[in-house]
Amino acid sequence: AWCCPETLDCEAYGRHFRPFLLNHTCAFLSHNTAIAQKEELYEQFGQGGSVFVRPTSCQKSFTGRCVSLGEFESALGPARLDPSARIVVAPVREIAREWRLVILGDKIVSGCQYAFRGKKSVRPELPEQVLQFAQHVLAQVPWRPDPAFMLDVGQCNGDLHIVELNGFSCSWLYACDLSVVVREASELARRRSESGED
């Protein structure tokens, strides 16, 4: 299985991909610190009375979403029970479209649209500009969270950004080409096994 929780934590991959992230302006902090500093966080990141909040962990103990000051604490859900839990607080951004790309090493093997204006909208389409953006990002950032992973790209105000990275072995493919993904992932696994890598 390819899904390393440590490297797929958005605080970890953010150190490498931050210039390209949709939420490049954000705060990473503990749950308890966020609660104690919530007024300051809303002053810094609030737009229309809301901020975006999500867990840093790829295991997503609660759903990332936009929340008002009054619902901030309750929105953190199960993270409130874990003193080590860390969260991201960022400005609200409106995403027009979102695409999922399957990355194996340095290669984009498939991709598709999975959302439109915040709603699920699956289409087997990967515009050339999205492909070129992802290729540029991968060329600029040699670090990888896993041998295979998912790269989610979103369009905001006409610009492309990384929304998040996800684990290859625990993510939906949506309308990505299953046969291509299986073939390429199998070949990658074979090569790594023969070379003694994980």
Query: What is the pLDDT tens value at each position of the chain, 198 positions in all?
Result: 899 999 999 999 999 999 999 999 999 999 889 989 999 999 999 989 999 999 999 887 788 899 999 999 888 877 667 767 899 999 999 999 999 999 999 999 999 999 999 999 999 999 999 999 999 999 999 999 999 999 999 999 999 999 999 999 999 999 999 999 999 999 999 999 998 886
**pLDDT at 78 (0 to 100):** 72
**How many angstroms separate the CA atoms of 108 and 96, rounded?**
22
Please give the DSSP secondary-structure letter assigned to residue 56.
Answer: S
Q: What pTM value is reported for the model? A: 0.92
What's the residue count for the chain? 198
Nearest to 100 by CA among 112, 116, 108: 112
Distance of CA 137 to the CA centre of its chain: 14
Q: Token pair of 193, please?
A: 């096994």
Please compute, for residue 149, the number of CA atoms within 13 A of its CA located in the half-sphere on the CB side: 23
Distance of CA 107 to the CA centre of its chain: 18
**pLDDT at 198 (0 to 100):** 67
**How many angstroms separate the CA atoms of 85 and 103, rounded?**
28
**pLDDT at 132 (0 to 100):** 98
